[in-house]
Structure 1
Amino acid sequence: MNWSLHELAKVSTDVLAQGADLSTDITQNLLTTNNVWMMLSTALVFIMHLGFAGVEAGFGQAKNTVNILFKNTVTPIIGIVSYAICGFFLMYPGFDVPGWFGFDGAGWSMFWFAPENADVSAGYAGAGYTYWTDFLFQAMFAATAATIVSGAIAERVKLGAYLAFTVIYVGIIYPLIGSWKWGGGVLDDWGFYDFAGSTLVHSVGGWGALAGVILVGPRIGKYVNGKTVDKPGASVPLAVIGVFLLWLGWFGFNGGSVLSADPALVSFVLVTTSLAASAGGLGGFLAGYIAFKRLDLGMVLNGVLAGLVGITAGADVINPGPALFVGFVAGLLVVGSAVLLDKLKLDDVVGAVSVHLTCGVWGTLAVGIFSTNPEHSFFTQLTGVLICGVTAFGAALIIFYLLKVTIGIRVSEEHERTGLDSHEHGIRGYTIVYDE
């Protein structure tokens, strides 16, 4: 068949047009697939708040159940709103040069006053997901950092003081620290690595919890004559349900941090996450038996959470074998940390400091030991841990101290002894009503 130059040119034009259409279709389908996974991950992280509520209410005393659940209900509400007001734009300020502080005023204006300009789906995040999905996914992380503090200082902190702390810590401190890595700040420039937040979420929350535990003080009767007095939780089954909900949510917490639906990387991350969680449970089992000479369910549960926190910094760069080791060590550390805190008379109701701070630090340092990326160094990881720790702990101490000398941070002795439910909420968490 003989083709004229005109016919060849027309065929070439048609082929190019079809190729452009196909490319557009592929880009749109990829965006949709990635965005659906990111929204599902957001939902999984959101359900973690129910897990935190279950763990805290299960390990807390029955007389404080409503108070605990109230805090765990209001925390994500405050977290999402405060993150929308300023946190999101502090955390992603669009540094021209990697720095320590910035605020994305243009993004803030676009979010609140010209949201139609934010509908840049195909051009946002490399067509990985939409602007709005990005905000909501990150907002769930912010609220998680505040929830960590809630469990540590439960059963004796004033509700108003806790809520005030949450607004400031989630709205300003957490996003400021996060901007140093995830927002393209100085730690990112130095090569610090924290895939999904062992330091930026968990340790930041853990440092806040430690500051709160120190300034609020232990519960009445917790430490008597040099001995630690156990205060039985309200519901062991509820605590178990809470831990499994958290484990489920971690599939979104770590899996969503891939920031796409990349099948190879997402599945790899979910494997390392689950292996570390399982190994953490084994470590908690073993260390709990050695420390307390019993099959301690609480330590197994916290061991699972410890393994999850530990692998979060390097779930995408630590191979399955080392992931097992990271999780197992985290399970051992969480028990040792809990024992040490009691010796220091630092009363942490749910073990939040041990799980999130101790194991968050370990997991971040583990990246410098086990990462498959040769650019990740132990010294850089240690530097990042120290900088974030000093900032988070110092800020939390200042916030709690100012609240202590102004509105007070601890309930009265009478309210603590009889329970916060009746005094602050007018109802009890466990009430049996008999028909007359």
Structure 2
Amino acid sequence: MIMRKVYRILMSCGYTLIESGGVRSQNAGHSLFKTLLILITTALAYWIFGYAFAFGQNANVILGYQFWASERFGDRDLRPGVENYTNSNPVYNLNNQDPYIHYFYHYMLAFLVTNIAASAFAERCRVPVYVLFSFVMAGFVYPFLSHWMWGKYGWLGNTIGARDYGGSAIVFLTAGIAALIGTAFLGPRFGRFEPRSLPLFGHSIPITSVGAILVAFGFFVLNSGADHRITGNAFGDRVGHGLINTLLSGATSGAVYYILQRLIEKIRKPARHLKRRVFLSTVNSILAGMVAVAGGAVTYNPWSSVIIGLIAAFSFLIWSKLLTRLHIDDPVETAAVHIGGGLWGIFAVPIFRRSVEFLPDGSWRPSDGTTRFWSIIYNITQGESWRGLLNALCTAAVVIAWVAIFIALLFLILKLINLLKVSREEELRGIDLFQHGEPAYALRIYCAACGEQLQAKTIETETGMGVAQRGNFPAIVTDAEGAIVPIEYFTDNRNGGGKPIKIGGINDENRV
């Protein structure tokens, strides 16, 4: 039980490593510090009022309204004579868990959804934005959605009858929509789309791969044990289904995406420097498959999870291409992964689930003469089977609208007061040094103005588009890792004049 909660921390660490390895080296420390800020802010926000909104006692269909800052929480007030109170009675309705364990579990989900969404803001977002964003996500956005779907009286799961076992919509689609809206307000990084599309590659594939392993491990735990039970009648069977289905869906999605991307490159034959980051994108496709299967992981047969993963690969690819066409700059494709996987995942539940009913509070009962839960694959001729699609549509619409209202309003205010994005100079020279005063890597690739050496391999020049013609877009130098540094920033301090250095050609042996 407790270990499942710990695995959420590993999952969040994995997402942080994917982001850190997927950005340029001069901004890697900023990504790591962002996670630390989110951990602190979400802990306080969820403790003060997040959990009260989500699972507070005396709740109604909209929200709970008790346990503010742990007030009257646990057994001290309700059962003062009991030393170790767990819910074997209906007071808390927490599946026989200690209420503090239940609190910690959902706090880790609040931290996870916030950390995932914020990874899309990498390389250009100010520090205060992460604090305010975390406060809103953990204090308002996620708590209300989790109450509506998983709360004892929540209207979405209890009244409407929608189902989301592992959080395809409530966790991952929420993160994807928040990432998309925030990224749209932030705008693209300098040099990403103007004067032409230019991929800005991450600096460390090994770090990204370690992060992917941790995230996949977290998905195995989340998708097989979201109801917090592993013992009892047939629960071991459901846990096994969750593990196998998560593995098959992720593997299928990754394989299909890799084949599709190679076919696209073979047909279109793009220039070498314009090719997609195949490793990071394949990792993201695996995660998209795991996100998609999360909505009903323990209710699918293995062959269903293969189909879900296959469609998730197409969904991820389509969303990734669409956002790129719209000039939405998402450094690690957070929005494409979690919108593509989460949106498809919530609709996959009523299509592929077996005839087993799982209830909003996590309890289960097999279908029999009195309890029947229809699905389209197994009961396609029954009208009741198609009702699940309407429930899924309702869930997706609610999540998108609720997240959009809060995040768009927050980022609009931050943009109006000019607190949203770092300056172009900070972005180009490295947020690590300018915002935090310390780089992630000592003596690595930073601009000469910061006292470091630049090891550059290529110069990107735009013919017929000089500085005089386009003053807001200087000539740029790109290093081996994709870090963009304007030539005008390179000065020769040795002559005391601060005049720009004339660069005829840069190769591995040159130092600026």
How would you bin the TM-score normalised by the shorter chain? 0.7 to 0.9
Who is 2:211 aligned against? 242
Q: Which structure exhibits the higher relative contact order, with contacts defined as CA atoms closer than 8 Å and separated by 6 or more residues?
A: 1
Instruction: Choose which of 190, 198, 207 in structure 1 pairs with 2:177.
Output: 207
Tell me the secondary structure at the aligned position of residue 71 of structure 2.
Answer: helix
Structure 1 match to 2:400 = 389
Q: What is the alpha-carbon distance in structure 2 between the residues aligned to residue 333 and residue 288 of structure 1?
A: 13
The one-letter code of the counterpart of 2:10 is: I
CA contact (8 A) 1:258 1:265 kept: no
- Which letter does structure 2 place at the counterpart of 1:121? T
Q: Residue 303 of structure 1: which of 279, 282, 285 is its match? A: 285
Within 5 Å, which residues of 2 pair with 1:395-434? 395-406=406-417, 408-432=419-443
The percent identity for this pair of structures is: 25
CA-CA distance at 1:78 after TM superposition: 2.1
The change in CA–CA distance for 1:279 and 1:403 in structure 2 (over 3 A counts) is same
Counterpart AA for 1:249: G
Which residue does 1:148 correspond to in 2?
Answer: 116
Query: Matches of 1:170 and 1:107 in 2, distance apart?
Result: 14
Instruction: Give CA-to-partner distance per residue, 1:269-328, whole Å, 9 cap, x none.
Output: 111111111112112212222333479222210111001110111102221111111112
Which of 51, 55, 64 is residue 18 of structure 2 equivalent to? 55
Deviates more, 1:152-161 or 1:76-85: 76-85
> Aligned ranges for residues 325-364 of structure 1 at < 5 Å?
325-364=307-346
Where does residue 46 of structure 1 map in the other structure? Answer: 9
Is the CA contact 2:74–2:85 (under 8 Å) kept in the aligned structure 1? no
Matched residues in 2 for 1:393 and 1:358: separation? 17
> 8 Å contact 1:100–1:186 — kept in the other structure?
yes
Give 1:14-413 correspondences, 5 Å limit: 38-94=1-57, 99-105=61-67, 108-111=70-73, 114=76, 117=79, 119-121=84-86, 123=88, 125=93, 128-183=96-151, 184-188=153-157, 189-225=159-195, 227-261=196-230, 262-293=235-266, 296-373=278-355, 374-375=373-374, 377-406=388-417, 408-413=419-424
Per the alignment, do residues 112 and 220 of structure 1 end up closer, same or farther by CA in structure 2, a change over 3 Å counting?
farther
Cα RMSD after superposing both structures: 2.3
Distance 1:116 1:421 in 2: 49
SS of residue paired to 1:192 = coil
Q: Which runs of 5+ in 1 are unaligned?
A: 1-37
Query: Does the CA-based 8 Å contact 1:41-1:251 persist in structure 2?
Result: no
Greater Cα offset, 305-314 or 250-259: 250-259
Q: Deviations over 1:173-225 (max 9, x none)?
A: 11111111111311111110100111101111111111101111010110024
What TM-score comes out, normalization by structure 1 length?
0.85
1:79 and 1:355, CA in 2 relative to 1: closer, same or farther beyond 3 A? same
Residues 241 and 300 of structure 2 are in contact (CA less than 8 Å); yes or no, is this contact kept in structure 1? no
Query: Given the superposition, is the C-alpha separation of residues 318 and 113 from structure 1 closer, same or farther in structure 2, using an over 3 Å criterion?
Result: closer
For 2:117 and 2:193, the matched residues in 1 are separated by: 21
CA distance in 2: counterparts of 1:268 and 1:117, whole angstroms = 38
Deviation larger for 169-178 or 75-84: 75-84
Structure 1 pair 181–417 and aligned structure 2 pair: CA distance change class (3 A): same
- 2:116–2:334 contact (8 Å) kept in structure 1: yes
> Which of 271-280 and 210-219 deviates more?
271-280
Distance 1:275 1:422 in 2: 43
**Separation in 2, partners of 1:56, 1:122:** 39
Q: Is the 8 A contact 2:168 2:293 kept in 1?
A: yes
- The number of equivalent residue pairs is 395
Shift of residue 134, structure 1, vs aligned partner: 0.9
Q: CA deviation at 1:375?
A: 4.2
- Structure 1 distance, partners of 2:85, 2:415, is 45
Task: Indicate if the aligned counterparts of 1:82 and 1:171 stay in contact, CA closer than 8 A.
Answer: yes
